[in-house]
Amino acid sequence: MSKKIVVLISGSGSNLQALIDAERQGELGGTITLVVSNKKSAFGLTRAADASIPTHVRTLKEYKDAGKTREDFDKDLAEYIAETQHPDLIVLAGWMHILSPAFIDRFRGKIINLHPALPGEFDGAHAIDRAYSEFKAGKRTKTGVMVHFVIPEVDKGKPILTQNIPCVEGDSLADLENRIHVVEHEILPRAVKLVLKENYVS
């Protein structure tokens, strides 16, 4: 029985595409059974549809407009995923919504996240911009990417895989971003396969 993977996205879905490609090549260790987006306009939904993967859209705005909370959103989304998918792994691939314990506790040890920084560096948003600013100020010569387990503390969960990325003299921010994205597309499928194969403990 193939392991079930649910992928959460918010944007273009380039990392989702890397996972889809890895699955097609038999290199993912499981099957993507659902793609969830919190943005109706996310291009990743089109990528999923093109790969015949079911999708689900749920926006926080709908909850806020109904007078509900982020915790309500997280709890209901967790319930939906648990009841419809029974996932072995949930992958946050450009999911721009900080999950509360209402979601995380339901799938403790089964959620992983891709973050464009090394452990202990640039937790939270705008990690690439912050690394680039330090590079331009002469304070760093490298940054990196990690895939880690998700815990309530943002980007503080146990790392699964990490990779250093050099900051090169003459780099623009776009150059650094592109170099990071290439590594992200390679490291995320490897981390998924590793976790599913090894029955990792977070």
Task: Give catalytic residue positions.
Answer: 115
Q: Are strands 89-92 and 4-9 parallel, antiparallel or unpaired?
A: parallel
Token pair for 16: 């989702």
Token pair for 200: 């990792």
Q: Are strands 4-9 and 159-166 parallel, antiparallel or unpaired?
A: unpaired
Contacts of 67 (CB under 8 A, 6+ apart): none
In this structure, are residues 191 and 27 in contact, taking their beta carbons and an 8 Å threshold?
no
In this structure, are residues 15 and 114 in contact, taking their beta carbons and an 8 Å threshold?
yes
∠ Cα 143 147 151 (to 5°): 115
C-alpha 82/C-alpha 185 separation (Å) is 27
Backbone angles phi, psi at 165, to 5 degrees: -135, 125
In this structure, are residues 30 and 196 in contact, taking their beta carbons and an 8 Å threshold?
yes
